[in-house]
A and B are shown apart, each in its own frame.
Chain A
Amino acid sequence: EAQVTQNPRYLITVTGKKLTVTCSQNMNHEYMSWYRQDPGLGLRQIYYSMNVEVTDKGDVPEGYKVSRKEKRNFPLILESPSPNQTSLYFCASSRDGYTEAFFGQGTRLTVV
């Protein structure tokens, strides 16, 4: 079954404690991206990756890091989380960034 898997689904953490949200896809997609979704603002792109070792900033990259060492994985790293990063996060993959995007189930992050 084609899918994008994110973990964890829910996370409560404290300010400043580094965390990683994992994302994995089994569709051999080149393109992967991370979004955050906040009420009234829709999905905003954090980072995206066009291929292994190729990443670029999206619209709201501050406070986040990513890496793409393998085609299937695209983890999101928060080195020093702050309360304004409390949000619902989605990972997505697409063959090329033009065709259908498949989303992970989301990670609800709360930073206290």
Chain B
Amino acid sequence: RKEVEQDPGPFNVPEGATVAFNCTYSNSASQSFFWYRQDCRKEPKLLMSVYSSGNEDGRFTAQLNRASQYISLLIRDSKLSDSATYLCVVTSTTDSWGKFQFGAGTQVVVTP
């Protein structure tokens, strides 16, 4: 079983609609959680960190459920520019240093 799993999609979303998707992780001791955005074969870029209390950044809302070991991302009022692959990233501990574990990504396609 992969340490971080995501639905690969694609999620085809009409412009202006809401889309949400989850990511599950297997290590209950995971410490930090992030959503990264990756445009076609370019470098991943941080979209937002995910905090225990949940957090919002404009049209994006991230939630963490430690009991069920998943994080979620919700995008409201989707824009064409939101079309991308969204990577779930979880860090675990290796000795005293973190180690990033990446999901394979969820593809979102926003259509006019």
Q: Which residues of A contact B (CB under 8 A)?
A: 31, 33, 35, 40-45, 48, 50, 56, 88, 90, 92, 94, 96-101, 103-106, 108
A45 touches B99 (CB 8 A): yes
Which positions in B face A, CB cutoff 8 Å? 4, 8, 31-32, 34, 41-46, 49, 87, 89, 91, 94, 97-100, 102-105
- Pick from A40, A50, A97, A104: contact of B100, CB below 8 A: A97
Main SS of chain A's interface residues? strand
Known contacts A43-B102, A44-B102; 11 further A-B pairs (Cβ under 8 A): A31-B97, A35-B102, A40-B104, A41-B104, A42-B4, A45-B99, A94-B100, A96-B98, A103-B44, A106-B41, A108-B41
- In this complex, what residue of B is CB-closest to A102? B46
Most chain B beta-carbon contacts within 10 A, residue among A45, A88, A103: A103
B99 interface neighbour in A48, A90, A100, A106, Cβ under 8 Å:
A48
